[in-house]
Structure 1
Amino acid sequence: MLGKVLNWFRQSGLHPFPLFNTLRNYTFRKALADMRAGMNVSLLDFPQSMAYALIAGLPVQMGIFCSALSSVTAPMFASSRFVMIGPSNATAVMLLSTFLTLGYAPEQAMLALPVLLILVAIFMVVGAFIGIANLTQYVSRAVVVGYITAAAFLIIVNQLKTVLGLHVPRAGTFAESLKLLILGIGETQWEALAVASLTILVYLPLKRWAKGLPTVALSLLIVGGLAAVMGHYGIHAEMLSPVSVSSWQFGLPELRFGDLAVLANGALAVAFLSLLESSSIAKTLAAQSGDRVDLNQQMLSMGAASAACAFGGGMVVSGSLTRSVLNFKSGAQTAVSSIFNGIFLVIGLFALGRLIGYIPKPALAMLVILVGISLINRANIAVMLKTTRSDATVFLVTFIGGLFLSLDTAIYIGTAASIGLFLHKAAKPGLMEVSFDDSGKLVEQQLQQERKERPEIAIVHVEGDLFFASSDVFLDQMRHVVTHPALSVIILRLRNAHNLDASVALTIKELVVFARSNGRDVIVSGAHPYVERVFKNSGLLATLGESNFFRYHPENPTISTRDALKRAQEITGEKSADITIYASEKKE
């Protein structure tokens, strides 16, 4: 049986236990770095996971249980060393929307949640084995940006009820929730509003002037103390329930076929969203660190974490952007930092569980609203709306759908729009290396990953469609070029590149940052007006710099490359630098 399982892994390209390779070369120095990163993340994770449980309409301890379980389980199967798996804003609000759309009361949702998690785990594991994660390259980032923006609006309107002390019916869409909030606003409790306002007055100064401290946890601590003082003067707000480790129960969920059929659609939407969100985070951090990630392996790790949460009282999981970035910036060396985070969360649960009962609900709700506001990324929205019509269309379809429809429906509609627009294009750029052989003739060969000697200047001719579906392929190919030891400058020749969009703009920006962090530089030549417009609208031109951007001249097509080579020689300080040309691969 074990042999068959290992054979399945080999055939799928997955690794049954990638953490083993990490532990074989693990050192005390790496352990200290991982422990430090894990502790930093746990100080954010503890209050954040409570907030995500509140967003999902669940008891706050379920968020902590989920973070602890997934932080320990996911690294055993993960490909990325930085991505922290656990509850997230996007998946929490999707979970809330799913149960509200089904008309489940809170008690029904609690009973159905383990079943939904089992279904998510099955979808994740099966999807990883058949390589479904590779299809994420055909889904534009505009879908994710549109969904997260709509989810932020739903988060804000749902938490406003707690901030105002209202007890109005819950709804599954932003539009309906807003209507119910407006109808019940006359019953606002000033005590709850006072505590929420106090939370803002505490949090915002801390966020601005105490950036090195865990501001969310510190804000809850201060407001909890102030609320206790206010209670002596008769000003009372609703409090969270204290958490005891004894309430953490493990066991098999009760599976009923009727539940499986009803929850399947919601589970599929949660799994799909988790895959999109985690893949985006993994690729972004990999671009900054120079790592390579296997998205199917990441999908397997989320499946394992979902299964652990199903048996251990958790909630849905995904990659967390804020915790993953903090893990990266804290100097984590391996995925073991996530395990340390899980251990510290359990310790915190033992030490601080009872103190949670002193946290006012309006305070935590106000912090959740502030987190929701931060999800409305105006820079990313501007890129999606200004770069191309396709990106703007997909973003608006997803966003507007998320306001008036259930979020799982919105993400399906957005994905369908993204793929539909993709069918009008075609893209898979290939690169061939063109260089001189010993006899002085130009020869072509497949791009090599390793060579003993590399040129100092590479001219890369990008031809054909270059848009979101090909951005990952393009970035992967360019990394082969960037990592050549002797290379100093890359000249991207974009004269024949078409259909650039926001995803490619972000990809090239990541390439520029990665190249410069490795002592290389990037120059663009042959940029026709459409390319220039995309570069300007997305802010990529500002990142690249005018001095490294050379426009196409119809009267002399080679002048931009000549000027780019002069600029490259200025950067390298060598007038006789070796040059290799990478041209588009011939397709038969």
Structure 2
Amino acid sequence: MHIIRRTGQLLRSTGLHPFPLGKTIRNYSWAKAKADGKSAINVVFLDFPQGMAYALIAGLPVQMGVFCSALASITGPFLASSRFIMLGPTNATAVMLLSTFLTLGYSQAQAVVAMPLLLIMVSLFMICGALLRISAITQFVSRAVIVGYITAAAFLIIVNQLKTVLGLHVPRAGTFAESLWNLLKGIGGTQWESALIAGITLAIYLPLKKFARGIPTVALCLVLTALVVVLMRPLGIEFEMLSPINAAAWPLSIPSLHWAEINQLVGPALAVAFLSLLESSSISKALAAQAGDRVDVNQQMMSIGVANMVSAFGSGMAVSGSLTRSALNFRSGAATPIASILSGTLLVIILFLVGGLIGYIPKASLATVVIIVGFTLINRAEISVIARTTKSDFAVFLATFLGGLALPLDTAIALGAITSIVLFVRKAARPNMKEITFDDRGNLTPEGLEEKRPEIAIVHVEGDLFFASSDLFLEQMRRMVSHANQRAIILRLRNARHLDATAALTIMDLIRFARKNNCAFLVSGAHEEIDKIFQRSGLMAELGEENFFRYSEGNPNVSTRDALKRAQQITGLTSADITIFAAEKKEDAEENH
């Protein structure tokens, strides 16, 4: 009891709630129960076949996907923030698992043994991330990275399931390129029985998808295909079937702790945790926005971390937020997170009732359904938007997508994220300033004369001034300071953001360089963040308080006016030529005028 109380205190100290479901239970009603029950029934008929399909994608026994769906659906809501999110296996995490185990050269048996350890590591990463409240990191990952990853994952799904559809027994591989090569080399061994049942599955699925909307299409397709197989048995045609699931023998999985294996799995575990966070945060935010709810992504991350821990000991696979099941839960009118608990409970009941009948489903049939799912992941509309919007977005997409075809997927998503950050920093690191001078009437004009340098310059810094932009900023400022006519520079920092130690050291170098060139250096428009940086870094002592002018809310221009008076006092120039160097924004020029 004492441990539970201390855990609750720890969670509250980090802004997390130890038992958010408690409020739901206290305010539960019969009307909410009916809405949750209806939603649970709709979701469970999608959950069962999807669980099997995602396990097949990951190269694992199909029961691991079903076990994972049931356990995550039941345990996730106890700590969840969203009332709609459905936890369990997903396409994205399943492909990441497939790529991981193929890259490591694990057989299916070895992957099953390694899975509990991998899930515990994923769980710990997500729980620590939730406690440290790092969910904001997702906003720094471009959408182009996610689209590129999912597109590459779709290609890997398709090529890996084609061998099952064709009845081929070819070597497994960790990348799309290698898998495609193995498939092409073994194409001569195609078994017509597998190809036949794949064609029958497709002939059943496509009309159902088009004309039987509102029913569990995938589940009904697999049932009808199983009936066709039973009817064909008197003809002597044999198919490779899935193994039946014995729910009564649901095993407890115990992780094997070996330092060498921990070293091998730490990278993939971090990649799965990061991917789960990206996937779940985008889904929960989208559904919350549609429903008018508020969602705490860090709380949701804690929920996923705990669900992964339960899955680790319950013979499951990696847990994330499912887009299709969560969207169905939302459309079905779920009132509370209890809808997920009811859905998971129904899944367990169904597993006990019909688990043995899974043995009537041909492997090629389920593989065909998985390939169809793979094609739906290729979002041509999103790819078109990314390709037409900016060159940098398309470059990020191509880096992730092409990397995903040639490299393991955890490497590809890291490559995409790094490319996205590098291109962002490259754009942010280019301060854009132009010269604005006074004409004879005292008005601001956009361009000054190159041959005539001002005696007093006001440099307006707009945007980010951090390590990546420091070199270019220093180069521009040094050229200005070193000009023979330059007597004073006023650095206007009202709209400068994100100053760091590199920027502070750069400004300190500029102050010293200006003094050597008999050029006064002043700062105006300094807001509170700038003030703190100058105080902490020692810049204030170097510059001198008398040359530092703070921004005033009541009069935005008074600090620059006072700095100009101070510059005239230092230089003795009461009628100096003055130029403003500013970012190309009309409002800035009007404000300075």
TM-score with structure 1 setting the length: 0.72
Q: What CA distance in whole angstroms lies between the structure 1 residues aligned with 2:150 and 2:249?
A: 32
Q: What CA distance in whole angstroms lies between the structure 2 residues aligned with 1:420 and 1:23?
A: 47
CA contact (8 A) 1:55 1:96 kept: yes
Shift of 1:131: 1.1
Q: What CA distance in whole angstroms lies between the structure 2 residues aligned with 1:289 and 1:421?
A: 35
The equivalent residue for 1:272 is: 274
Q: What CA distance in whole angstroms lies between the structure 2 residues aligned with 1:70 and 1:239?
A: 27
Deviations 1:190-224 (A, max 9, x none): 00000000000000000000011101000000010
Q: What CA distance in whole angstroms lies between the structure 1 residues aligned with 2:337 and 2:122?
A: 23
The equivalent residue for 1:318 is: 320
- After TM superposition, the structure 1 stretch with the greater mean CA deviation from structure 2, 418-427 or 20-29, is 418-427
Q: What CA distance in whole angstroms lies between the structure 2 residues aligned with 1:364 and 1:225?
A: 14
- 1:355-374 matches, cutoff 5 A: 355-374=357-376
The equivalent residue for 1:183 is: 185
Q: What CA distance in whole angstroms lies between the structure 2 residues aligned with 1:2 and 1:107?
A: 37
Counterpart residue identity of residue 26, structure 1: Y
CA contact (8 A) 1:115 1:255 kept: yes
Match of 1:40 among 39, 42, 46: 42
The equivalent residue for 1:227 is: 229
Q: Compared with structure 1, are the counterparts of its residues 340 and 3 closer, same or farther at alpha carbon in structure 2 (3 Å cutoff)?
A: closer
Q: What CA distance in whole angstroms lies between the structure 1 residues aligned with 2:268 and 2:317?
A: 14
The equivalent residue for 1:107 is: 109
Q: What CA distance in whole angstroms lies between the structure 2 residues aligned with 1:338 and 1:164?
A: 37
- After TM superposition, the structure 1 stretch with the greater mean CA deviation from structure 2, 148-157 or 409-418, is 409-418
Q: What CA distance in whole angstroms lies between the structure 2 residues aligned with 1:300 and 1:341?
A: 21
Q: What CA distance in whole angstroms lies between the structure 2 residues aligned with 1:290 and 1:138?
A: 24
- 1:394-405 matches, cutoff 5 A: 394-405=396-407
Deviations 1:253-300 (A, max 9, x none): 222222211111111111111111111111111221121111111110
Q: What CA distance in whole angstroms lies between the structure 2 residues aligned with 1:67 and 1:10?
A: 29
Partner SS, residue 292 of structure 1: coil
CA contact (8 A) 2:248 2:352 kept: no
CA contact (8 A) 1:52 1:88 kept: yes
Aligned length: 433
The equivalent residue for 1:486 is: none
Match of 1:166 among 165, 168, 172: 168
Please identify runs of 4+ aligned residues in structure 1 that moved more than 3 A.
Answer: 1-4, 424-427
The equivalent residue for 2:482 is: none
- 1:182-331 matches, cutoff 5 A: 182-331=184-333
Counterpart residue identity of residue 331, structure 1: G
Unpaired runs of 5+ residues, structure 1, are 428-462, 466-582
CA contact (8 A) 1:138 1:422 kept: no
Shift of 1:326: 0.4
TM-score with structure 2 setting the length: 0.71
Q: Compared with structure 1, are the counterparts of its residues 222 and 168 closer, same or farther at alpha carbon in structure 2 (3 Å cutoff)?
A: same
Counterpart residue identity of residue 197, structure 1: G
Counterpart residue identity of residue 333, structure 1: A
Q: What CA distance in whole angstroms lies between the structure 2 residues aligned with 1:113 and 1:249?
A: 14
Q: What CA distance in whole angstroms lies between the structure 2 residues aligned with 1:275 and 1:154?
A: 22
Q: What CA distance in whole angstroms lies between the structure 2 residues aligned with 1:3 and 1:220?
A: 48
Partner SS, residue 423 of structure 1: helix
- 1:483-562 matches, cutoff 5 A: none
Q: What CA distance in whole angstroms lies between the structure 1 residues aligned with 2:277 and 2:423?
A: 21
The equivalent residue for 2:120 is: 118
Partner SS, residue 186 of structure 2: helix
Shift of 1:424: 3.9
Deviations 1:86-118 (A, max 9, x none): 000110010010011111111111110000000
Q: What CA distance in whole angstroms lies between the structure 1 residues aligned with 2:205 and 2:9?
A: 53
Q: What CA distance in whole angstroms lies between the structure 1 residues aligned with 2:179 and 2:168?
A: 12
Q: Compared with structure 1, are the counterparts of its residues 191 and 251 closer, same or farther at alpha carbon in structure 2 (3 Å cutoff)?
A: closer
- 1:137-156 matches, cutoff 5 A: 137-156=139-158
Which of the pair has more CA radius of gyration? Answer: 2
The equivalent residue for 2:95 is: 93
Counterpart residue identity of residue 77, structure 1: L
Partner SS, residue 168 of structure 2: coil
CA contact (8 A) 2:121 2:266 kept: yes
Partner SS, residue 380 of structure 1: helix
Deviations 1:431-451 (A, max 9, x none): xxxxxxxxxxxxxxxxxxxxx
- Percent sequence identity over matched residues? 62
Counterpart residue identity of residue 366, structure 1: T
Shift of 1:68: 0.2
Counterpart residue identity of residue 128, structure 1: A
The equivalent residue for 1:376 is: 378
Q: Does 1:59 align with 2:61?
A: yes
Shift of 1:7: 2.8
CA contact (8 A) 2:226 2:362 kept: yes
Q: What CA distance in whole angstroms lies between the structure 1 residues aligned with 2:340 and 2:29?
A: 16
Q: What CA distance in whole angstroms lies between the structure 2 residues aligned with 1:6 and 1:213?
A: 42
Q: What CA distance in whole angstroms lies between the structure 1 residues aligned with 2:139 and 2:223?
A: 43
Q: Compared with structure 1, are the counterparts of its residues 164 and 24 closer, same or farther at alpha carbon in structure 2 (3 Å cutoff)?
A: same
Match of 1:50 among 52, 62, 69: 52
Q: What CA distance in whole angstroms lies between the structure 2 residues aligned with 1:262 and 1:348?
A: 37
Counterpart residue identity of residue 397, structure 2: F
Shift of 1:464: 8.0
Counterpart residue identity of residue 29, structure 1: A
Shift of 1:425: 5.2
Aligned-CA RMSD value? 1.8
The equivalent residue for 1:550 is: none
Partner SS, residue 50 of structure 1: helix
CA contact (8 A) 1:278 1:318 kept: yes
Q: Compared with structure 1, are the counterparts of its residues 393 and 275 closer, same or farther at alpha carbon in structure 2 (3 Å cutoff)?
A: same
CA contact (8 A) 1:34 1:331 kept: yes
Match of 1:333 among 322, 332, 335: 335
CA contact (8 A) 1:72 1:338 kept: yes
